[in-house]
Structure 1
Amino acid sequence: MSIFSKLNFKDQAFRLREDAILDATTTVLASKGFDLMTMDDVANLIGISKPSLYKHFKSKEDLVGAAMIRLLEGATTQLDSFPAEYTAKEKLSALLEWALRVRLDGGLPFLPSTSNAVRDMLMRNLKYVGKVIKLNSQLEKLVVMAQKEGALSKNLSADVILYSYYARSCDPAVEYLQRFSKMDSDMIVENMLRICFQGLED
């Protein structure tokens, strides 16, 4: 095996471990929150030493920032993958469905609006901010397009629709329904999408 191949293998192993670290970070964040989460929690969950963890991420802030950036990149990838024939509203609905399923599988909210500490920390992460601005611009264009097509109300500000859309991705009703209702994940997603796009009326 050549030195180049060995380096590639090392790079792949490094990335795989990094993905495992971010998966563990997501799990700990979802269960304990940012304030109570520690680097020890993450290291212990995947069975590595804390010094090994620090080879990948210098601090808890860097770790959480990377987890949120990965989530945003996932959202952008999903959005780019939708068929061209999808209407603007169909793209918005499909992306929200993806975000809800991520949460139901133990992932993080689409945007961390429920935690001031996380939000303030992430606003200092320029890479994260850049990803947010890009995704926000894409979604805002879809909202405006859906309004022009008559699929969303023209009587509401595009900002109101957009931030209400974000709120659905962070809605605590998802966890309550998962924990206390008899609905399965598909039914929860179906009802949350209906609440978002049709409201409470029949």
Structure 2
Amino acid sequence: MSILSKLSFKDQAFKIREIAILDATTRLLASKGFDLMTLDDVAVEVGISKPSLYKHFKSKDDLVGAAMIRLLDGALDWLDKVPADTPPSGTLRALLAWALETRLQGGLPLMPSTSPQVREMLTRNMRYVTRVLKLNSRLEKLIRQARAAGQLRSDLPEQVILFSYYSRTCDPAVEYLRLYAKMKDADIIKHVLDAFFEGVR
């Protein structure tokens, strides 16, 4: 039984509208960025009034924070479903493939990497910070396990591998390959993964 089915009809409608708001916010953040996106844009995209939007989120910062938290929760949920016998390097590769696929579908805005204002805003959001720390911990553990198994280079500092891994999710090469090389999304993901993992293998 889904979580929605346990709610009253009124609460279900509220939750469904909130999901639509977060979906619209993610798309607008990916296409316009934080600075250019407005709450009016979100309301129009969803097809609701601005006062209705405020019933869910009291500010742009709250809305963007919730959208970013949902992305982190998606990554953590994905990791929870990985079979226990998957090699650590395989898990790292598959998670990065998921992130790149999500990005190419417009569901992964290039934040907070491209905006100091967004970084500062998100570091004040403890729910966001808690999830970042949890994801960092999971990735660091996978990197240590992969290094110990000889799947990743031991001469590279762990933090170099970790932050290089994160940076691939916002690599502009993804858009350039789609726009100028006319590559299919599946090929873009494969080549970006190969380029990264051959460097750290």
- The normalised TM-score by structure 2 is 0.93
Query: Aligned equivalents of 1:24 and 1:148: distance in 2?
Result: 42
| Aligned 1:9-28 pairs, distance under 5 A | 9-28=9-28
Which residue of structure 2 lines up, in the alignment, with residue 172 of structure 1? 172
Which amino acid is 2:47 matched to? G
Query: Aligned equivalents of 2:7 and 2:99: distance in 1?
Result: 35
Change over 3 Å in CA distance of 1:82–1:110 after alignment to 2: farther
Paired residue secondary structure (2:103) = helix
Change over 3 Å in CA distance of 1:111–1:60 after alignment to 2: closer
Deviations, residues 124-169 of structure 1 (Å, cap 9, x unaligned): 1000000000000000000011000000000010110000000001
Which residue of structure 1 lines up, in the alignment, with residue 89 of structure 2? 89
Corresponding pairs, count: 196
Q: Which runs of 5 or more residues in structure 2 are unaligned?
A: none
Change over 3 Å in CA distance of 1:111–1:165 after alignment to 2: farther
Matched, 1:140 2:140: yes
Give the drift of 1:51: 0.2
Query: Aligned equivalents of 1:121 and 1:66: distance in 2?
Result: 12
Which residue of structure 2 lines up, in the alignment, with residue 50 of structure 1? 50
Which residue of structure 2 lines up, in the alignment, with residue 197 of structure 1? 197
Change over 3 Å in CA distance of 1:37–1:110 after alignment to 2: closer
Asked whether the equivalents of residues 30 and 110 of structure 2 are also in contact (C-alpha less than 8 Å), the reply is no
Change over 3 Å in CA distance of 1:29–1:167 after alignment to 2: same
Query: Aligned equivalents of 2:157 and 2:7: distance in 1?
Result: 52
Query: Aligned equivalents of 2:102 and 2:81: distance in 1?
Result: 17
Query: Aligned equivalents of 1:88 and 1:31: distance in 2?
Result: 33
Which residue of structure 2 lines up, in the alignment, with residue 107 of structure 1? 107
Query: Aligned equivalents of 2:111 and 2:161: distance in 1?
Result: 15
Which amino acid is 1:78 matched to? W
Asked whether the equivalents of residues 104 and 178 of structure 1 are also in contact (C-alpha less than 8 Å), the reply is no
Paired residue secondary structure (1:189) = helix
- The normalised TM-score by structure 1 is 0.93
* Percent identity of paired positions between Structure 1 and Structure 2: 62
Asked whether the equivalents of residues 101 and 189 of structure 2 are also in contact (C-alpha less than 8 Å), the reply is yes
Which residue of structure 2 lines up, in the alignment, with residue 131 of structure 1? 131
Root-mean-square deviation (Å): 1.7
Query: Aligned equivalents of 2:111 and 2:38: distance in 1?
Result: 21
Give the drift of 1:88: 0.5
Query: Aligned equivalents of 1:27 and 1:168: distance in 2?
Result: 20
The list of structure 1 runs, each at least 4 consecutive aligned residues, that deviate by more than 3 angstroms after superposition, is none
Change over 3 Å in CA distance of 1:45–1:86 after alignment to 2: same
Query: Aligned equivalents of 1:86 and 1:188: distance in 2?
Result: 24
